[in-house]
Structure 1
Amino acid sequence: MSVEPGWYVDPADRDTRRYWDGEGWLGAPIPVDATPPEGPPPPEPAPVAAPAPVAAPAPVAVPAAPPHAGAPVSGPHPGQPGGYPGHGGPYPGPPVGQSGPAGPYPSGPGPHPVRPVGGPGQPSVPPPGWPYPTWPARPPEPRPHGLPLASYGARLAARLIDVGMLVLLNTAINGWFIWRFFVEWSAPWQEYWRRVSTGDLSNEPLPPPGEQFGGLLLAVLLIATALWFAYEVPSMAARGQTFGKRLMGVRALPVEADQPLGFGRATRRWSTLGMPTLFWACCGFGLLLQFLDAVSALFDQPLRQALHDKRAQTVVVQLSGARPESGTTPRDRANPPGDTP
């Protein structure tokens, strides 16, 4: 929007008036309470050239520092906020979107691009009066290899299914050792239950368990750990999935590439969660370690990695129904699965 030529209060000095010719300020200012003349001011006489001084040795030239990119320009600046008579917006300036002394002007309502201030390596800040740019909403969740992260509920359900499968395996293979272990433990347990039922407050020690109690406990824990290793590690190394993960449609992948885990990485991943089984007999210390590992994914951002994921550098993703298995169908590198609807 252009402004008609005329005398207006100088925004740089409210005690003076200057003539606006439609494109810029013209002539010298006059006092604000003085009656302005009709039309533009007379042209100022050209300055009389002074006689040339006697030549003297020229001093060494020092390059002047460049003006600060964010410093305000002296005098009236078309982009500065202010007003002119009869209007509430900014006074005349270059059209919106064109470049001014400090860079391009905003072409619409904010947020506007940040103008660099200072030299290279210095932070960029917006000009005075402009709001700092902020993220319009919460950052998007990462999609490793074009796939969404598996929810904690899906991971927990898959783990419970795997625990059920391990219980069945231990019942079939480790069942005799478990039964013998409870037989050896029956004497102190029955005496303890008798005292609780009858209200006996005797301080006499409980009878010791059988002689084979310690050996049976070690055998039960070793067999249970070996069954867990045999159940989980080979399938995770080849496909990144156990039986529970396949039912829940989740898969473990390396962070750096969409490929099988391999035996070494699958072993490192399992050992952080499975090896503490050997410490169950140490006042439940092994169970405490496994519980901390299981809940650690709740507090990890942004990849929701549990402690065993961090050790093996893996991430658990949710598979889509149309996604082909890796290594069986060539993938289009230009359109990886999960990036397109």
Structure 2
Amino acid sequence: MSVQPGWYVDPADPETRRYWDGEGWLGAPIPVDETPPDGPPPVEPPPVPVTPAAPATPAAVGPVTAAPGWPPHPGPGAQPGHGPQQGYGPQPGQGPQQGHAPGWGPQATPPGLGPQAGPPGWAPQGAPPGWAPQGVPPGWPGGPPEPRPHGLALAGFGQRFTARLIDFGLVFALNALVNGWFVWRWIQEWTPYWREFFQRAARGDTSAEGLPVPGEQAGLLLVVILVIATALWLAYEVPAMAAGGQTFGKRVMRIRAVPLAADQPLGFGKALSRWTTLGMPTLLWYCAGLGLVLQLVDALSPLFDHPLRQALHDKRAQTVVVQVPRTTASATPNDRDHPSGETP
């Protein structure tokens, strides 16, 4: 980022103002309290070259005349007991330097400023002091602040994870009531197989010949269990999310799912779309646990989404999970403390 051309206070002489053309100072200074003209100053005529004179006995050299607008600097002989300064004024036995005014050396910039350099104390690339890096407003040391959808803070991953564990515990309890008999029958189908398998493992027998094979009813029972578990999860979550954006776990953790477009209830469509991304893979647990892997990826996805921390099911339904602010309920006045009417 470079400094725009314009009139700025000269860092070498704060009492004056000079024109900065984007790469260096240009023209003569003006008093700092004077209104600068529009645009750059007029171009000064180049100094008239002086014809070299014949060598002569060096005479006392007076003070060096400074270029227009530059602060004067003492020339050779100005300080008692000091000889001529290197680069300023003619040396003994030599004439004036060709192409420059008498008493001036080849230096083309004010002392202390290198060629094409910004004013002293300015940031790199000529940025004035206190200017923030490009794209980051002042006062933001670590980047832009966290977004607040509808003025609410985003829910943390720990809050969301804890709420999900609470909901899973409740759904598991519902499955224990409704699915309990089917799970018991499925375990009975597999018990002979696993009993024989562990007995052979204890004897060091690794053969699989003669192991009891579960009947066809075991596979059918597993399908029934997964369908019932999915239906229970659907009935538990979708209506609650459609009405208020909160399940029981989210209420406990004080978080809520809201649409990105407006702070309003999700509605059945968004609630169902949000749930199907996370809940429907339950039916794929039958396929070597593939559904469980998909659900795990979805559950961890907010850790890698910035800046809204959306899970995959949030992205599909265009929702975001925010914290519910604590509201202080107004106390209901007690009629006994302030009775109406006349006192008998």
Counterpart among 259, 283, 292 of residue 254 in structure 1: 259
Does the 8 Å contact 1:20/1:26 carry over to 2? Answer: no
Instruction: Rate the CA distance shift 1:29–1:265 in 2: closer, same or farther, 3 A.
Output: same
Aligned partner (choices 38, 47, 50) of residue 29 of structure 1: 47
Quote the residue 2:5 is aligned against. Answer: none
**Cα gap change, 1:33/1:276 in structure 2, threshold over 3 Å: closer, same or farther?**
farther
SS in 2 for 1:142: coil
Return the match for 1:189 from 187, 190, 194.
Answer: 194
Q: CA deviation at 1:184?
A: 1.1
Partner of 1:158: 163
Q: Does the Cα contact within 8 Å between 1:19 and 1:27 map onto a contact in 2?
A: no
Instruction: Give the one of 280, 290, 295 matched to 1:290.
Output: 295
Q: Which residue identity is paired with 1:285?
A: L
> In 2, Cα distance between the equivalents of 1:188 and 1:12?
91
Measured in 2, the distance between the counterparts of 1:191 and 1:271 equals 40
Greater alpha carbon shift after TM alignment, 213-222 vs 19-28 = 19-28
Counterpart AA for 1:161: I
1:252 counterpart SS class: strand
Q: Distance in 2 between the 1:170 and 1:109 partners? A: 66
| 1:215 corresponds to | 220
1:269 to 267, 274, 282: 274
For residues 12-48 of structure 1, the C-alpha deviation after alignment (integer angstroms, 9 at most, x for no partner) is 99xxxx998979787762458998999999xxxxxxx
Say which one has the larger Rg: 2
Q: Matched residue of 2:47: which SS?
A: strand
Q: The residue matched to 1:280 in structure 2 has which SS?
A: helix
1:297/1:262 CA distance change after superposition, 3 Å: same
Cα-to-partner distance string for 1:168-226 (whole Å, 9 max, x where unaligned): 11111111111111111111111111112222222415211134212211111111000
> 1:316 matched to which residue of 2?
321
Q: In structure 2, what is the Cα distance between the partners aligned to 1:133 and 1:169?
A: 56
Pairs within 5 Å for 1:8-157: 29-31=47-49, 83-84=109-110, 88=112, 109-111=129-131, 133-135=134-136, 136-157=141-162
Tell me, yes or no, if the aligned pair for 1:295 and 1:306 is still in contact at 8 Å: yes
Task: Tell me, in whole angstroms, the C-alpha distance in 1 between the residues paired with 2:298 and 2:29.
Answer: 74
Residues 127-154 of structure 1 deviation map (CA, whole Å, 9 limit, x = unaligned): xxxxx62524222111100011111111
Native 8 Å contact 1:279 1:285 kept in 2:
yes
Compared CA separation, residues 88 and 150, structure 1 to 2 (3 A):
same
- Residue 317 of structure 1: SS of its match in structure 2? strand
Partner of 1:235: 240
CA–CA separation in structure 2 for the residues paired with 1:250 and 1:158: 9
Mean CA deviation greater in 25-34 or 156-165: 25-34
For 1:40 and 1:280, the matched residues in 2 are separated by 87
Distance 1:237 1:323, change over 3 A: farther
Q: Provide the alpha-carbon RMSD of the alignment.
A: 3.6
Q: CA deviation at 1:322?
A: 2.1
Counterpart secondary structure, 2:170: helix
1:218-237 deviations in Å (ceiling 9; x for gaps): 11111100000000000000
Structure 1 residues 210 and 39, CA, compared in 2 at 3 Å: closer, same or farther?
Answer: closer
Quick check: 1:172 aligned with 2:177? yes
Q: Distance in 1 between matches of 2:214 and 2:66?
A: 116
- 1:282 & 1:270 partners in 2: Cα distance? 20
Partners of 2:260 and 2:28 lie apart in 1 by 68
Distance 2:293 2:277 in 1: 12
| Secondary structure in structure 2 of the residue aligned to 1:29 | coil
TM-score normalised by structure 2 residue count: 0.60
* 276-285 or 205-214, which deviates more: 205-214
- Structure 2 residue aligned with 1:93: none
Letter in 2 for 1:109: P
Judge conservation of contact 1:184–1:211 (CA < 8 Å) in 2. Answer: no
1:279 corresponds to which residue? 284
Output the amino acid matched with 2:297: L
- Cα distance in 2, alignment partners of residues 27 and 37 from structure 1: 20
Cα distance in 2, alignment partners of residues 192 and 150 from structure 1: 47
What whole-Å deviation, never above 9, does each CA across 1:51-95 have from its counterpart, x for those lacking one? xxxxxxxxxxxxxxxxxxxxxxxxxxxxxxx854xx6479xxxxx
Shift of 1:109: 2.2
CA drift of 1:111 comes to 1.6
> 1:294-319 CA deviation, whole Å, 9 max, x = no partner?
11111111111111111101000111
